[in-house]
A = this chain, B = another copy of it.
Amino acid sequence: MNIKPLGERVLVEPVKEEEAVKGGIIIPDSAKEKPQEGKVIAVGTGKIDENGKAVPFNVKKGDIVLMPKYGGTEVKVDGKEYQIMREDDILAIIG
């Protein structure tokens, strides 16, 4: 089942919290929502700036990223959970 995010959106598979610890990123239990780790599965059909000019994505398929906990929309495909979110909302590339 192929999912092509639309526009500047990105499809990310959240990394389970226990696995995340191996990667060294534990997010402190601060008042604000803990950001979570995830793997980029697919980038969108394309980002355009305010002048309609195409802008390249900063992330690519396979990158491990740090994203806000509730930044995207949850979807489940073939039993796996994913998040669809706008690239601007992704915090960092880690690894």
Which residues of A are in contact with B by a Cβ distance under 8 Å?
1-7, 9, 11, 23-28, 30, 32, 35, 45-46, 48-53, 55, 58-59, 65-66, 68, 70, 73-78, 81, 84, 87-88, 90-95
Contact = CB atoms under 8 A, between A and B. Distances in A.
B58 A6 contact: yes
Given A35-B75, A52-B50, A76-B28, A9 B91 contact: yes
Nearest 5 A/B pairs, CB to CB: A49-B52, A1-B24, A4-B93, A45-B58, A5-B92
A3 B94 contact: yes
Contact of A73 (B1, B6, B65, B68): B68
Given A9-B91, A35-B73, A75-B91, 20 more contacts: A1-B95, A2-B95, A4-B92, A6-B58, A6-B59, A6-B65, A11-B92, A24-B77, A24-B78, A25-B75, A27-B74, A28-B81, A35-B75, A45-B93, A49-B52, A50-B51, A50-B52, A51-B51, A52-B53, A52-B55
